[in-house]
A and B are shown apart, each in its own frame.
Chain A
Amino acid sequence: MKNRNQYKSKIKEGNRAVTAILYLLAALMAFITVYPMYYVLILSLSEPQYAATMKVYTIPKGFNLGAYEVLVTDTKMWRAYANTFLYVIANTILMVITSTTVAFGLNYKKLIGRKFLTMFLLIPMYFSGGMIPSFLLIVKLGLYDSPLSQIIPAAFSIWNIILVRSYFRSIPDSLSEAAKIDGAGILQILIKIFVPLGKPIFAVIAVYTIVATWNSWFKAMLYLPHTDWQPLQMHLRRILVETTRTVTQAMDPAAAKEAAARELSNAQLQYAMIIFTTLPVLFAYPFFQRYFVKGMVMGSLKE
C-alpha cells in the first residue's frame, strides 16, 4: 500500500498550486467535521457569563468546571449511564455468541438443509414487518417496559452472521479434519479451533455492536415508556432535544437547584452533557475505526 502510493506520486505530478488547493480543501473538510465538537467543548469550559453569550470561538474564555460539577450530581444521568453499560455489555456478548454459532453451523461442510437455512437468513435482510408489527410483538411477549426489550431483540444480526461466516470460510478445513481424527467433537472443534482463530472478526462485530448500542435510542423510545431503564441516549434526548423544557427540568431536583445557584445557562449545561457522554466514544473511535474499515471492506467483498 505504502509503496504503491509512493509509486503513484511519482507518475502523477500535477500543478503545484492545484495540489496546494486540494490539501487546503481537505483540511477545511476536517475542520468542518471537528470544529463543532471543539466549540461545544470550549463553551462548556468557559466562565458562565461568557458561555451565556455563546461567543466563545477559539479558546475557553476563563475556565470553569461548574457545569461538570453539577452534572456529576445528577443521579438520573448516572442511572442512564449504568443502563447503557448494561445494554452494551449484554448485547456485545450475546452478539458474538449468536453470530459465531450460526456462522459455524453454516460453515459445517455436511450440513443438512443448507439451502433452506440460507433462505431463512436471506429473507429478513430484504423484508421486514416494520415498526408497528414489531411493536405489537414486543407488547405480546411482555417485553414492553422491560430492560429485556433492549437486549433480546438486539442479540443477533444476520449481517454479522454473514460477516463471521465469510471469515470462517478462510479457516482451512484441514484443521477441523485433523481435530476430528484426534477424536474432537463438534463443540470442541468450535471452541478449540474456530473461537481462537476467529478473534479478529469477533473484534469487528464487537466494536460494531458497542457503538450501535451506545448510540441507540429509538428502540428505547418505542419500548421503554418509563425513565428507570432508559439508556443514556434517552436522557440526552430529554436534555438536548425536547423543546418544551429547560435542561434543569429534566435533571434531578438537587442537581437542578445547584445549576440555578451557579447561574449556568441552558446551553452550557447541554454542552457539558454532550462532552461528558460523548467522551468515551471520542476516545475510543480512533482505535475502533480500523475495525469498522475492516468490517466494511469485508462486507462489500461479500456482496
Chain B
Amino acid sequence: MFRKIHNTKGESGTKQKKKYGEGIIKENLQVYALMLPTLLLILIFCYVPLYGIIIAFEDYVPGSSFIGKDVDWVGLKWFKQFITGHYFARLIKNTLVLSILNLIFGFTAPILFALLLDQIKHLKYKKFIQTASYMPYFISTVVVAGMVISFVDTDGLITSLLSVFGFARENYRTNSGAFPWIYTFTNVWKGFGFGSILYCSIISSIDPGLYEAAKLDGANRWQQVWHVTLPGLKAVIAINLIKTVGDILSTNTDLILLFYTPATYDVADVIGTYTYRLGILEGQYSYTTAAGVFTSLIGFAITYVANKISNKLAGVGLW
C-alpha cells in the first residue's frame, strides 16, 4: 500500500526511475480502453482494405474471403491485362489532360487570388470578397454539377453567354471538345476561394519590415510582390505543387461521374470512373483493384521524384 502511494507520487513528480510502475500500467490500460473502439474502426476500415489489395493478384470470386484455401493466384495477369488493354491509352491520356489543365488553372488560381486580395487594403471590402469566394466550396458537388449541367444546356446561362461571342447554341454537356474546359473551370470555381485561405494566412504573417525595406529600395507594387510576397510563399507553394503533381493520376472522380455521359467517354473516362463502372457495376473486382494499385504506385513514384526535385531546387519538401 505504502509503495503504491509512493509510486504514484514519484511518477507525477520528476523523471521516473523504474520503467513501468504499477500505476503507469493501470493508467495505460485505461487510456487504451478509451482508444480501443476507434483503433478497431481504423484497423477494420483502413487496414483490412489495404490487405484486400491482395485480390489484385488472384482470381477473386465474389463472396469468398480475400485469402482462402482455394485462392486462384494469377500473379500479374490483371496488371498486364490493364496495361495492354484497349482502353489503357485513352484512360491515361484523359487523366493526364484533365490533371495538367488542373495544374495550370486550378493550382495557380488560389495563389493569384491571394496575391490580389493582398492588394485590397480596405478590410471590410476584402472580408466581403473573401466570404463570397468561399461560397462554392460549401455547395455540394452534386448541386454544382447540376447547376453547370443546366447552364451549359442549349438555353442555359453559360451557353447564352457564349452565344453572344458567336459560339453555337448546343448542349455542351455532350460535346467532347468542351468537356475538359467545363470540368476544369468548375473545379477552379469551386475551389479557388477556399484554396486561397492558406496562402492569405501566410502572406499576412510576412514581416512588414521586409516591405518597408523593399519600399526604401524603391520597389514598386509588382517588385514587392515578386521580391517579398512570392519568396514568402515559396515553401507552401512547393509543398502544394508536390501534392498536386503526385495526384496527377487521381482526378476528381466525383465530379466526372456526375458530368460525363457515354457521349463524352472518349475525353472524360479516367481511371477512377473506369474502376467504378467495371468494378462496382460489373463486378470485375480483381481487375479493377489491379488498376487502382497501378495508379497508386505511379502516383507514389511521381510524388517521390517531385519531392526529391523540390528538395534540391527549393530546399523544401514533404519529407
Cross-chain pairs A/B with CB under 8 angstroms, 15 sampled: A9-B121, A11-B211, A33-B132, A53-B155, A101-B34, A112-B28, A129-B53, A132-B289, A152-B45, A190-B34, A217-B141, A218-B257, A237-B146, A239-B146, A297-B201
Cross-interface CB contact of A181 among B12, B44, B121, B156, cutoff 8 Å: B12
> Contact: B129 with A8, CB < 8 Å?
no
Could you say which of A19-27, A64-72, A195-203, A251-259 contacts chain B? A19-27
Q: Which residue of A lies closest to B145 (CB)?
A: A241
Q: Assess whether B76 is interfacial by the CB under 8 Å rule.
A: no
Q: Which residue of A lies closest to B60 (CB)?
A: A136
Q: How far is the CA of A274 from the CA of B150 in the complex (A)?
A: 12
- Which B residues fall within an 8 A CB radius of A? 8, 11-12, 16, 20, 24-25, 27-28, 30-32, 34-35, 37-39, 41-42, 44-53, 55, 62, 65-66, 113, 116-117, 119-123, 125-126, 128-129, 131-136, 138-143, 145-147, 149-151, 155-157, 160, 173, 189, 192-194, 197-198, 201, 204, 208, 211-212, 215, 220-221, 224, 236, 239, 254, 257-258, 261, 272, 275-276, 279-280, 285, 288-289, 292-293, 296
Contacts of B289 in A (CB 8 A): 130, 132-133
Q: How far is the CA of A241 from the CA of B39 in the complex (A)?
A: 38
Contact digits for A41-68, partner B, Cβ 8 Å, 1 yes 0 no: 0000000000001110000000000000
Q: How far is the CA of A36 from the CA of B151 in the complex (A)?
A: 9
Cross-interface CB contact of A236 among B140, B201, B239, cutoff 8 Å: B140
The B interface, classified by DSSP as helix, strand, loop or mixed, is helix
Cross-interface CB contact of B27 among A19, A133, A140, A186, cutoff 8 Å: A186
Cross-interface CB contact of B138 among A1, A185, A282, cutoff 8 Å: A282
Given contacts A15-B221, A120-B39, A130-B289, contact A135 B280 (CB under 8 A): yes
Q: How far is the CA of A98 from the CA of B131 in the complex (A)?
A: 31
Contacts of B50 in A (CB 8 A): 123-124, 127-129, 133
Shortest distance from the beta carbon of B108 to any chain A beta carbon, whole Å: 14
Q: Assess whether A30 is interfacial by the CB under 8 Å rule.
A: yes
Q: Assess whether A89 is interfacial by the CB under 8 Å rule.
A: no
Contacts of B296 in A (CB 8 A): 127-128, 130
> Contact: A152 with B41, CB < 8 Å?
yes
Q: How far is the CA of A237 from the CA of B257 in the complex (A)?
A: 11
> Contact: B31 with A104, CB < 8 Å?
yes
Q: How far is the CA of A218 from the CA of B258 in the complex (A)?
A: 10
**From A18, A102, A284, residue with most partner B Cβ within 10 Å:** A102
Contacts of A140 in B (CB 8 A): 65
Shortest distance from the beta carbon of A218 to any chain B beta carbon, whole Å: 6
Contact digits for A148-166, partner B, Cβ 8 Å, 1 yes 0 no: 0000110110100100000
> Contact: B143 with A277, CB < 8 Å?
yes
Q: How far is the CA of A136 from the CA of B58 in the complex (A)?
A: 15
Shortest distance from the beta carbon of A167 to any chain B beta carbon, whole Å: 17
Contacts of A217 in B (CB 8 A): 140-142, 254
Cross-interface CB contact of A30 among B41, B51, B128, cutoff 8 Å: B128
Q: Which residue of B lies closest to A212 (CB)?
A: B140
Contacts of B236 in A (CB 8 A): 300
> Contact: B133 with A33, CB < 8 Å?
yes
Q: Assess whether A78 is interfacial by the CB under 8 Å rule.
A: no
> Contact: A34 with B45, CB < 8 Å?
no
